[in-house]
Amino acid sequence: MDKKQLITLKKVLRYMKKYIPLLVVSILLATITVAMTLYFPILMGNALDLILGKDLVDFEGIVEIIKTAVFVIVVNAIAQWVMNVCNNRMTYHIVMDIRKDAFQKIERLPLSYIDSKAHGDIVSRVIADVDTFAEGLLMGFTQLFTGVATIVGTLLFMLTLDFKITFVVVVITPVSLFVASFIAKKTFSMFRLQSEAKGEQTTIIDEMIGNQKVVQAFAYEKKAEERFEEVNARLQKYSLNATFFSSLVNPSTRFVNSLVYAAVGIFGALSAIGGGISVGQLSCFLTYANQYTKPFNEISGVVTELQNALACAGRIFELIEEAAEKADDVDAYVLAEADGRVAIENVSFSYTPEQKLIEDFNLEVKPGQRVAIVGPTGCGKTTFINLLMRFYDVNSGTISLGALDDMQTGEERVTYQQGGNQVQGQLYDIMHMTRKSLRGNYGMVLQETWLKAGTIRENICMGKPDATEEEMIAAAKASHAHSFIKRLPNGYETQISEDGGNLSQGQKQLLCIARVMLCLPPMLILDEATSSIDTRTEMKIQKAFLTMMEGRTSFIVAHRLSTIRESDVILVMKEGKIIEQGTHESLLAQNGFYSKLYNSQFC
Amino acid sequence: MKKLLVFLKDYKKESVIAPLFKMLEAIFELIVPLVVAQIIDIGISTVDKGYIFSRCGVLILLAVIGLVCAISAQFFAAKAAVGFASQLRSALFVHIQKLSFADLDEIGTSTLITRMTSDVNQLQSGVNMVLRLFMRSPFVVFGAMVMAFTVDVKAAIIFVITIPLLSVVVFGVMLITIPLYKKVQAALDRVLAKTRENLVGARVIRAFGKEEEEIQEFNESNEVLTNVQLLVGRISALMNPVTVIIVNIATICIVWTGANQVYAGILTQGEVVALVSYMSQILVELVKLANLIILITKAVACGNRVSDVLNRQPSIQSEKTEFVQSDSSAPMVEFKGVAMQYGKSSEEALSNISFEAKKGQTIGVIGGTGSGKSSLVHLIPRFYDVTKGSVLVQGIDVKDYPLAQLREKIGIVQQKAVLFKGTIEENLRWGNENATEEELWNAIALAQAIDVVEGKEDRLQHMVEQGGRNLSGGQKQRLTIARALVKNPDILILDDSASALDFATDAALRKALSGIAGEKTIFIVSQRTSSIQHADKIIVLDDGKAVGIGTHAELLESCEVYREIYDSQFKKEERRHING
């Protein structure tokens, strides 16, 4: 066991700590079970010794032995069942604890981690790896200790019977272990070939079946089959080798076992002739010889399982120990309600140090202003939103929000006009604000529509679980979702499958809009909010948006220029950088990238 | 499940030989207690060392024969199982290729992938184990009973009672736990769904500050899972102690009956020892059998999932295989009163659509989300079947073409841009294996993808990663357009496939396409009026109905929906600006 495995093992033990009483009980019961199991053949051997031949049977003695034997059987059975239950309890609770921690970590991971890792990989850690780990752990609990105890117990019991025969058993048995590890070593390379071929095949399956529609569109089926067949034939060859040679372990060890059996037969019988042991004891020895190699095989199996389990555990712990988002400051400001001012000062940001993206960016947004972000696809418009919402933190500079609450003192006080009233508020750096309160002040509709599995109602009321029926319907109507929801089989109670699979892209987006409509925070972020909705519906939503945006500071990302033309500030982004900034007219007058972009729509 | 056995048919010999060898091995194992009885009764009681040695020689001989039998059995079992899995995978792959888009929509490609990989693997080890053990274990159990009869009928009765009792326990526990295992799987699926959901929706969940609630919900599902697991565990934990009790009590009974028989002079001591060891052989086999049954139930579940796929008849099949002569004077594409409905939906996705598209024409298809634009163009290559009316390509109903011949004529660029692992060149050659380098570059140029390819160090030889991960959305889209152009199809369909392109590139692409339109019929599906306004014919879809067919100018006059779409994208002032 190397150092890494040892570290992982220590972590596993930490999770086990809670269940030490169960573990102690389990070990105790295992000891009892093993002792009882081993004692039974001795009892039977003793009974056999009382059955010598015609008219030579001690029935009274046998009855006594049987009484003891029944007691042994019952105690053994109870102990075994309770032990099994204890082991199950420990295993599944440990697994539950680990999954719980893993999930909690997922909720706290920085977005940069989630964005950069394949989701399938994280999911397989939480599901498949934890499952394999559980299986290995359970097997370890049930078989490792009983196995060791059986070996030790058998040795002791045999020694009390006869030293020489025990010696024979002890010397020959390890041969089976050598045979097993020899075969394992020899087959390793075959398994590698097999898993390589398997991987290659999985890639083809992933690509061709996963994109079956493209395959069919290009009538590529025959070629795909050819490629598949070629790998499949190779896989078959390697698989046969790996499967066959690895399956030699079982017969070989059983063969060694038979040799032990024969040896015990010879030495036992000779010893019986010499009066060393009785026939009953010989039969007991033979039973032991039969059972003795089994725990060896089991233990070697358990050890591989456990190593596998540890490897899986290692991957899970990697996830659990991944650095979480920097926690909110202890004295972080709780932004009760933003007044709509956003001040961005000297902000620089990049995902990787090599590629600078946003540098020294300044922007002052007044309450109720609309800020549009435009640029070609992949220009990094979402980067800006990531920063506003603190999905990512700026490298340097500050983003500050104004608060309606002026009970606290701050460095800067600003006076401004809003709706004719003089309101005084102060600016707070979002880095020193609780994330929850910061994000709660934004209503966000993203390009990637995401809905959770659950009813339509649960999804709309996500931001405001205590909303009344009327409020919910009003929000749905305002976002033009009400009419299609009504037509669904169960209306607002219709179950949405994972990721809204049973709804169209446009319907999903309408629901995302309704979700924001319902809670209406003081500021809005609309990222391609209407990209999957046809322009006519969009026009209707646009009206709703206008009412929604009234008096609310809004950041809008959109391809469609019509939606952003009326914005107060337009940020033009290209290759991750903000290259132009101004109003529609001023930017057109600049005759730069924006005007080129704008004019291309009409050629 | 039974149908899957067909895939063993090439391995009939192996599937029979493997269990046979296993049985042979078992027979030799069953002889062992008799030999031991002889050692005790003859060797020990007559103090005949030579006899003991010769009998132990027999034991070793039996072991050697057993080893040879076992190895042969393993070989044939492995060969049959691996061959089975290999043929099954092939059959699955071929079958999936035949499934129609509607079938794929319904089953989902991700489940198809798991079925082809992990399910088939489980089946392979299931078949392997069944061939090796399933015959052997019952054989040893019954063999032990038969052997017991040869020793003593009275004692053998105990075997006759014990075996059914054991079967009741083993199968009883199985019957109770198998449905529960399904529950475990379902609970695990919920935990999985929750995990994935939280990764995909991380932004929204955090934006709404829902982390704590999500953790709460996860913990609930997690606890449900744990509780079901514990319940199953508690029941299956019964199996071992109960079977051990039964066997041990049976052993006691044998000793007691044996004592009586020996007292009466019917049995010898050695024969009682033999009976006892037969009973312990049964116990060992039972444990194996129980593990095997778990494996089999898993394999059967996998097998059912796999055969579900195989049993699914492709909803679109072409009976025609021979080449069909099409009529080149007929319109390239014609829709006659076409209606179409998706699988389970109650409403028609398209209703009563009729139009003609001639060679050299460009047809624009416009409409709102869910108005049926994609459905309409998907009918041309017969990805879906019409429910009413007919679609004709060059005068012949698409249903009368062999699928390959029909799709040969059509190049379609789908909404989702998909590229495959391999070089750019390999990807482009999907459409036409024999395209010359010049043809490739022409297609690239038309698709406005020259800067994409030239931007890569090794140009056409640039490796595209699986799923085209190393390319941006716009780059992928342009390459998929080029791929369709390499095919040089009679009918080119762009299904909203310029969405990731900026306006300038989109415009340049349209201009380039209009240059090649003379030889082809081009369908452009879009939400932007700017993309289709120069088309020869524009089909305006609303809720599955064609509310207007005509040119841009005509539709502006006559079609309310079109005008609304246009107005929503072009403010009046710009129109004046452009027209003026």
Flag if A80 and B109 touch (Cβ within 8 Å).
no
Would an 8 Å CB–CB cutoff place B321 in contact with chain A? no
* pLDDT tens digits for range B82-130: 999 998 988 888 888 888 777 777 776 667 777 787 788 888 888 888 8
**For residue A526, which of A552, A498, A505 has the smallest C-alpha distance?**
A552
Please list every residue in chain B whose beta carbon sits closer than 8 Å to the beta carbon of residue A66.
252, 255-256
Check whether A116 has a pLDDT greater than 90: no
Flag if A59 and B259 touch (Cβ within 8 Å).
yes
The number of CA neighbours under 13 Å toward the Cβ of B158 is: 26
**For residue B268, which of B52, B39, B28, B29 has the smallest C-alpha distance?**
B39
Chain A residue with the nearest C-alpha to that of B531: A601
Q: Are residues B155 and B8 in the same domain?
A: yes
**Would residue B316 be called left, alpha or beta, if left means φ above 0 and alpha means ψ between -120 and 50 degrees?**
beta
Cβ-count burial B379-398 (b if 16+ within 10 Å, e if not): bbbbbbbbeebbbbbbebeb
DSSP conformation class of B319: -
* Among candidates A40, A126, A251 on the partner chain, residue whose Cβ is nearest the Cβ of B67: A251
Flag if A127 and B195 touch (Cβ within 8 Å).
yes
Which residues, 6+ apart, have CB-to-CB distance to A199 below 8 Å? none
Distance CA A262, CA B325 (A): 80
Q: Are residues B197 and B277 in the same domain?
A: yes
If one counts the domains in chain B, the total is: 2
The whole-number pLDDT of residue A93 equals: 92
User: How many secondary structure helices (H) and strands (E) does chain B include?
Assistant: 21, 12
Q: Are residues B215 and B142 in the same domain?
A: yes
* pLDDT tens digits for range A17-30: 999 999 999 999 99
Distance CA A325, CA B518 (A): 59
Flag if B234 and A210 touch (Cβ within 8 Å).
no
* Three state DSSP letters for A82-149: HHHHHHHHHHHHHHHHHHHHHHHHHHHCCHHHHHHCCHHHHHHHHHHHHHHHHHHHHHHHHHHHHHHH
Q: How far is A54 from chain B (nearest CA, A)?
A: 4
The whole-number pLDDT of residue A414 equals: 42
Q: Are A103 and B218 in contact (CB under 8 A)?
A: yes
DSSP conformation class of B131: I
**Type of residue numbered A270:** L
CB pairs under 8 A between A and B: 427
Say if B566 falls within a structural domain.
no
Mean pLDDT over residues B160-169, rounded? 88
* pLDDT tens digits for range A360-388: 888 888 888 888 888 765 566 778 888 88
Positive/negative CA dihedral, A492, A497, A499, A504:
negative
What tokens appear for B290 in the block? Answer: 């129980």
SS3 for B442?
helix
Mean pLDDT over residues B308-316, rounded? 80
Q: Are residues B364 and B294 in the same domain?
A: no
A600 pLDDT band, cuts 50/70/90, is low
Host domain of residue B419: 333-551
Q: Are residues B421 and B367 in the same domain?
A: yes
Say if B579 falls within a structural domain.
no
Q: A interface mutation test: which of B90, B104, B206 has the most A CBs within 10 A? A: B206
Q: Are residues B258 and B375 in the same domain?
A: no
Q: B interface mutation test: which of A49, A52, A96, A508 has the most B CBs within 10 A? A: A96
Would an 8 Å CB–CB cutoff place B114 in contact with chain A? no
Q: How far is B282 from chain A (nearest CA, A)?
A: 13
Q: Are residues B346 and B301 in the same domain?
A: no
Flag if B369 and A504 touch (Cβ within 8 Å).
yes
A69 pLDDT band, cuts 50/70/90, is very high
Most confident residue range from A340-354, B217-231, B313-327: B217-231
Say if B328 falls within a structural domain.
no
Which of B310, B345, B363 is at the close of a domain? B310
Check whether B559 has a pLDDT greater than 50: yes
**Type of residue numbered A576:** G
Flag if A217 and B371 touch (Cβ within 8 Å).
no
Q: At what angle do helices B269-311 and B12-38 cross, to 10 degrees?
A: 170
Check whether A1 has a pLDDT greater than 60: no
* Among candidates A69, A93, A219 on the partner chain, residue whose Cβ is nearest the Cβ of B404: A219
| Better pLDDT: B97 or B164 | B164
Flag if A440 and B209 touch (Cβ within 8 Å).
yes
A78 pLDDT band, cuts 50/70/90, is very high
* Among candidates A85, A126, A562 on the partner chain, residue whose Cβ is nearest the Cβ of B571: A562
What tokens appear for B76 in the block? Answer: 């044939």
Q: How far is B425 from chain A (nearest CA, A)?
A: 15
The whole-number pLDDT of residue A528 equals: 60
| Better pLDDT: A233 or A598 | A233
Chain A residue with the nearest C-alpha to that of B268: A53
Check whether B203 has a pLDDT greater than 50: yes
* Among candidates B205, B252, B269 on the partner chain, residue whose Cβ is nearest the Cβ of A279: B269
Q: Alpha-carbon Rg of chain B, whole angstroms? A: 36
The whole-number pLDDT of residue A68 equals: 93
Say if B195 falls within a structural domain.
yes
Kindly report which listed range (A316-325, A401-410, B312-321) carries the lowest average pLDDT score.
A401-410
Check whether A412 has a pLDDT greater than 50: no
The whole-number pLDDT of residue B576 equals: 42
DSSP conformation class of B421: S
Q: In chain A, what are the domains?
A: 3-320 (1.20.1560.10), 448-520 (3.40.50.300)
Which residues, 6+ apart, have CB-to-CB distance to A268 below 8 Å? A162, A165, A277, A281, A282, A285, A286
* Among candidates A85, A203, A442 on the partner chain, residue whose Cβ is nearest the Cβ of B234: A85
Q: Are residues B463 and B347 in the same domain?
A: yes
Per the prediction, chain A carries an average pLDDT of 81
Q: What are the beta bridge partners of residue A370?
A: A554
Say if B238 falls within a structural domain.
yes
Residue B182's CATH number: 1.20.1560.10
Say if B38 falls within a structural domain.
yes
Please list every residue in chain A whose beta carbon sits closer than 8 Å to the beta carbon of residue B402.
none
Flag if B197 and A123 touch (Cβ within 8 Å).
no
Chain A residue with the nearest C-alpha to that of B502: A376
Say if B326 falls within a structural domain.
no
Q: How far is B424 from chain A (nearest CA, A)?
A: 16
Chain B residue with the nearest C-alpha to that of A463: B208
Flag if A251 and B70 touch (Cβ within 8 Å).
yes
Q: Are residues B162 and B119 in the same domain?
A: yes
* Among candidates B200, B431, B569 on the partner chain, residue whose Cβ is nearest the Cβ of A450: B200
The whole-number pLDDT of residue A529 equals: 52
Flag if A240 and B276 touch (Cβ within 8 Å).
no
Would an 8 Å CB–CB cutoff place B93 in contact with chain A? yes
The whole-number pLDDT of residue A415 equals: 41
Say if B427 falls within a structural domain.
yes
Q: Are A97 and A15 in contact (CB under 8 A)?
A: yes
Which residues, 6+ apart, have CB-to-CB distance to B59 below 8 Å? A258, A261, A262, A265, B32, B35, B36
Would an 8 Å CB–CB cutoff place B199 in contact with chain A? yes
Q: Are residues B298 and B415 in the same domain?
A: no
Q: How far is B51 from chain A (nearest CA, A)?
A: 10
Q: Are residues B273 and B410 in the same domain?
A: no
Q: Are residues B105 and B196 in the same domain?
A: yes
* Among candidates A109, A251, A378 on the partner chain, residue whose Cβ is nearest the Cβ of B474: A378
Please list every residue in chain B whose beta carbon sits closer than 8 Å to the beta carbon of residue A538.
568
Measure the CA dihedral A25/A29/A30/A34, to 10°: 160
What tokens appear for A499 in the block? Answer: 């990721």
ipTM of the prediction: 0.79
* pLDDT tens digits for range B40-72: 888 888 888 888 888 889 989 999 999 999 999
Residue B437's CATH number: 3.40.50.300
* pLDDT tens digits for range A92-104: 999 999 999 999 9
Mean pLDDT over residues B151-171, rounded? 88
Q: How far is B308 from chain A (nearest CA, A)?
A: 16
SS3 for B409?
coil
